[in-house]
Amino acid sequence: MSMGADNAGFESLQPYPFEKLRQLLEGVTPSTPDPIPLSIGEPRHEPPAFVLDAYRDALAEGVSRYPTIQGSEALRDACRAWLARRFGVRVDDDMVQPVNGTREALFAVAQAFIRSGSGQKVLMPNPFYQIYEGAALMAGAEPHYLNVSSEDDFLPDLEAINAETLAATRIFYLCSPVNPCGTIASLAYLQRLVELAIRYDFIVVADECYIELYRGTAPVSILNAASALSLPRPCANVLAFHSLSKRSNLPGLRSGFVAGDADMIARYRAYRTYHGCSMSLAVQKASIAAWSDDTHVAANRALYDQKFTDAGRILATALAIEIPPAAFYLWPNIGGDDVAFCRDLFAHTHVTAVPGSYLSREVDGVNPGSGYVRLSLVAEPHATRTALERIAAFIKGD
């Protein structure tokens, strides 16, 4: 018997995009010695010093007691206060659950709510964050991919989903701002999604980890949409996931929270009691400091704004790009083989990018990520400019 043979979902897991990328680039020797990775969406800006100070100050206390699953009241209050400041949405204490980063939390939510073997579906846009697919498979559900394109702002066409599919749906994952292209779901779009969730009794899992990285108008939350509707209970069938990784340049802190339907939060918390994921007290203190301050977030946005300005200027003569309204990705259509492009780009420039087809699944003979490349503008501004200049020279054949 092979490892994982007792879990059909485990056998169905596909290699992670970055493992496929590693295999693609294995044995390729770049012509320049200085690597610049634009592949993984890992923020490389400096973390806020005051958050690190709060973490250090709490270390001794943080290892002397077991932390609780629900987190401290002070942390939940800080999360609730941020929701009120940022979105104008007020939620009760029982509508918030701290989590150890949204990656883990987005996976765990499917395990808490899917009835294994029941034929339930988990809907997700295609391209997508692969955790959604893995969560569905490991929970015993069927991933259902909704192809998206530039014609619909890379958001699933809600009206094109048939009633039979919606009736079988248990979870609908949506990322807004969108990974990989940075487009934003409107309030009307989110309201329609919540209406469908109530009508067909599924859960909207809103991945909003990029929601503070915007240019121009601030994106709304699924919580705004839920609050504007007349629902059976506050934020019914809605869970919003927020993280400090992108907002505050703290990917290693592994800190975020979930907010929404109190009944679902209670079930999710009960699952996590057995799952054993409680946030250390030192991380909680650091998180309180981060969620309580907005100044560093504005400064962080300014750095990304500058990098996108540089991208528009440097790539203009080499590649047709659209500066996205949010997130930190470029998603250009390179008009050809995205896998070969990324391999050759690495060989000639030592810049690492992700083929769009690695972020998607083929559905009805179409891979909607094919021909696209994802560039994560996460490096420091100087390194990002250098990478963009190398990319432009590579495309022009200089």
Burial, 30: exposed, middle or buried (Cβ in 10 Å; 0-12, 13-18, 19+)?
Answer: middle
Q: Residues 252, 376: one domain? A: no
pLDDT of residue 6: 65
Look at residue 64 in the predicted model and tell me its pLDDT.
Answer: 79
List pLDDT tens digits, range 90-132. 999 999 999 999 999 999 999 999 998 888 999 999 999 999 9
**Number of folded domains that form the chain:** 2
CATH number at residue 258: 3.40.640.10
Residue 1 counted as domain residue: no
Q: Is residue 56 part of a domain?
A: yes
Tell whether 245 and 301 lie within a shared domain: no
Question: Which residues constitute the domain of residue 359?
Answer: 15-46+296-396
The band of 1, judged by pLDDT with boundaries at 50, 70 and 90, is: very low
Residue 137's pLDDT band (cuts 50, 70, 90):
very high
Q: Is residue 9 part of a domain?
A: no
For 295-351, what is each residue's pLDDT tens digit?
999 999 999 999 999 999 999 989 999 999 999 999 999 999 999 999 999 999 999
For position 322, which CATH number holds? 3.90.1150.10
Contact assessment for residue 319 and residue 391, using Cβ atoms and an 8 Å cutoff: yes
Query: Domain boundary at 242, 257, 291, which?
Result: 291
pLDDT at 4 (0 to 100): 46
- 382 & 342 share domain: yes
Give 147-173 pLDDT, tens digit per residue: 999 999 999 999 999 999 999 999 999
Please indicate, yes or no, whether residues 244 and 362 belong to a single structural domain of this protein.
Answer: no
Predicted TM-score (pTM) of the model is: 0.95
* Residue 149 sits in the same domain as residue 252: yes
Among 247, 162, 170, 164, CA closest to 202: 170
Q: Considering 273, 291, 309, which residue would you say is the last residue of a domain?
A: 291
Same domain, 26 and 161: no
Number of other CB atoms surrounding residue 51 within 10 Å: 25
Quick one: average pLDDT of 218-246? 97
pLDDT of residue 378: 96
Q: Are 381 and 46 in contact (CB under 8 A)?
A: no
Lowest mean pLDDT among 7-21, 94-108, 174-188, 239-253: 7-21
Q: Is 282 part of a structural domain of the chain?
A: yes
Which of 222-226, 269-273, 303-307 shows the lowest mean pLDDT across its residues? 269-273
Which residues on adjacent β-strands are paired with residue 98? 257
Residue 180 has pLDDT above 50, yes or no: yes
Does 303 lie in the same domain as 285? no
Query: How many other β-carbons are positioned within 10 Å of the β-carbon of residue 193?
Result: 24
Q: Which pLDDT tens digit goes with each residue over 29-62?
A: 999 899 999 999 999 999 999 999 999 999 987 7
Per-residue pLDDT, averaged over 263-275, amounts to 94
Asked if residue 382 and residue 351 are part of one domain, the reply reads yes
CA atoms 396, 315, 17, 155: torsion sign = negative
- Do 341 and 372 share a domain, yes or no? yes
302, part of any domain? yes
Asked if the structure places residue 5 within a domain, the reply is no
The answer to the question of residue 261 being in a domain is yes
6 within some domain: no
Q: What is the 3-state secondary structure (H, E, C) of the chain?
A: CCCCCCCHHHHHCCCCHHHHHHHHHCCCCCCCCCCEECCCCCCCCCCCHHHHHHHHHCHHHHCCCCCCCCCCHHHHHHHHHHHHHHHCCCCCHHHEEEECCHHHHHHHHHHHHCCCCCCCEEEEEECCCHHHHHHHHHCCCEEEEEECCHHHCCCCCHHHCCHHHHHHEEEEEEECCCCCCCCCCCHHHHHHHHHHHHHHCCEEEEECCCCCCECCCCCCCHHHHHHCCCCCCCCCCEEEEEEHHHHCCCCCCCCEEEEECHHHHHHHHHHHHHHCCCCCHHHHHHHHHHHCCCHHHHHHHHHHHHHHHHHHHHHCCCCCCCCCCECCEECCECCCCHHHHHHHHHHHHCEECEEHHHHCCCECCECCCCCEEEEECCCCHHHHHHHHHHHHHHHHCC
Shared domain check, 331 and 280 = no
Q: What is the pLDDT of residue 308?
A: 97
Quote the tokens at residue 60.
């001794």
Same-domain status, 126 and 217: yes
Q: Are residues 84 and 204 in the same domain?
A: yes
CA 212/CA 189 separation, integer angstroms: 19
Whether 82 shows a pLDDT value over 50: the answer reads yes
Domain boundary among 236, 260, 291: 291
